[in-house]
Amino acid sequence: MKRIWKILIVALVITNLTCIGGIIYLLYQFQHQSPQVLTNTIHSTTTEFYSDVTSTVDKVASSVVAIESENRITSSTGSGVIIESDDQTIYIVTNAHVIENGETITVTFANGQRVAATLVGSDTLCDLALLSVMVDFEVNPIALGDSSLVHQGEFVVAIGSPLGLDYQGSTSFGIISGTNRTISVDLDDDGQTDWDMVTLQTDAAINVGNSGGALVNLNGELIGITSMRLSSASGTNVEGMGFAIPVNEMIPIVEQLKDHGYVIRPSLGISGIQVSQLTVYQKNYLGVPLNQNEGILIVSINTDGAAAKAGIAIGDIITSIDGSTISTFKDFRTILYSHAPQDVIRVTVLHMGELIDHTVTLE
């Protein structure tokens, strides 16, 4: 019996020594080989990521500026992007709400230089403004990309001045969360949405002060102008949802601002009231059928305007344009502004209880 126990003990010792030897061998292999492979992998991945994102920031950071807009009562800060250099005149695009009501506008460049800016023009509907400044130092306009080529999941970098000049040039990194997102905005703070804006959605942080800043791809190309107004319009207490005006939407607006100081849009030559906002008393007073809840009631008309020339009159209710139903002012603006001056459209109105079509040449 004792002999059997001795044999079992010897067997267990041999087994344990074998396991321990195997473990020591594996540790030896890991110590002398695996760390090298692991280090190479980490080094390669880190270097690739570093070179992509960091070189992008290095390339475009000097093209983004901080903007201060002041009047006698209030002041605001935002961001802007240098898009063009013509001799010593620099053109900077920003959001219209950044410089709204500003009597003086100051641009602070990445090199710390502060220069007074001139407002070339702004457009409230698209929330874009164009500034010009004169400088005696070298600046680098940003390269313009093509927002129609942007893909969901693509890496992007947002650069701006969140919370003011103390954080000028702040960078956030993320992806394109969605393309061709439609955001409804209330431009006059009356509780009614006035316009639908097509945007790029990103999870890169967009905060107060980022408005007017750059959203760029990893090629260092501008693909959008970030807007805190759009981010706020998407809902309250929402994180990871930033929005930018696509560069392809920006370019034609900026060209008109540079040429005219404003955006030329077609006009019908009328003023109206949204029927859905009328009370029963107002409908009775204005002669609007009580069961009519859609359309735009014409309350004044330019006698030399497009609508008057087509035979449309005060008291008519615009119910559709080119067959598209008009329920709200947003519908009206969206359809009307999809056209250009001199375009011919078909306007359907409710006139004394009868639907009538008018052919209108826009002005």
pLDDT at 290: 92
- Domain-ending residue, one of 210, 242, 261: 261
Give the mean model confidence (pLDDT) for residues 222-248.
78
Residue 248 to residue 252: CA distance in whole angstroms: 8
Asked if residue 254 has pLDDT above 80, the reply is yes
pLDDT, one tens digit per residue, over 146-190 is 999 999 999 999 999 887 788 888 999 999 999 988 887 777 677
pLDDT, one tens digit per residue, over 320-334 is 999 999 998 888 888
pLDDT, one tens digit per residue, over 99-116 is 998 899 999 999 999 999
pLDDT at 175: 94
SS3 198: strand
Same domain assignment for residues 132 and 227: yes
* Dihedral sign (CA 164, 170, 176, 179): positive
pLDDT band at 14 (very low <50, low <70, confident <90, very high): very low
Same domain assignment for residues 118 and 237: yes
If one counts the domains in the chain, the total is 3
Same domain assignment for residues 70 and 120: yes
Same domain assignment for residues 248 and 225: yes
Give the mean model confidence (pLDDT) for residues 128-147.
94
Same domain assignment for residues 134 and 231: yes
Give the mean model confidence (pLDDT) for residues 71-84.
92
Provide the annotated active-site residues: 97, 127, 211
pLDDT at 185: 77
Same domain assignment for residues 115 and 54: no
pLDDT at 51: 58
pLDDT at 234: 57
Same domain assignment for residues 138 and 251: yes
Per the structure, the complete domain to which residue 48 belongs is given by 2-60
Residue 120 to residue 262: CA distance in whole angstroms: 9
pLDDT, one tens digit per residue, over 335-357 is 998 898 999 999 999 999 899 99
Same domain assignment for residues 81 and 222: yes
- Domain-ending residue, one of 22, 45, 60: 60
Same domain assignment for residues 252 and 301: no
Return the residue matching tokens 């759009």.
230
Return the residue matching tokens 């067959």.
323
Residue 312 to residue 272: CA distance in whole angstroms: 13
Same domain assignment for residues 36 and 122: no
Give the mean model confidence (pLDDT) for residues 243-257.
94
Same domain assignment for residues 44 and 101: no
Give the mean model confidence (pLDDT) for residues 238-243.
76
- Domain-ending residue, one of 261, 291, 309: 261
pLDDT at 184: 78
pLDDT band at 41 (very low <50, low <70, confident <90, very high): very low
Q: Which parts of the chain fold into alpha helices (H)?
A: 2-32, 34-60, 96-99, 228-233, 247-260, 280-286, 306-309, 329-336
pLDDT band at 11 (very low <50, low <70, confident <90, very high): very low
CATH number at residue 110: 2.40.10.120
SS3 48: helix
Q: Which residue has the higher pLDDT, 232 or 127?
A: 127
Asked if residue 281 has pLDDT above 50, the reply is yes
Q: Which residue has the higher pLDDT, 50 or 196?
A: 196
Same domain assignment for residues 51 and 77: no
CATH number at residue 350: 2.30.42.10
Least confident of 41-50, 283-292, 309-318: 41-50
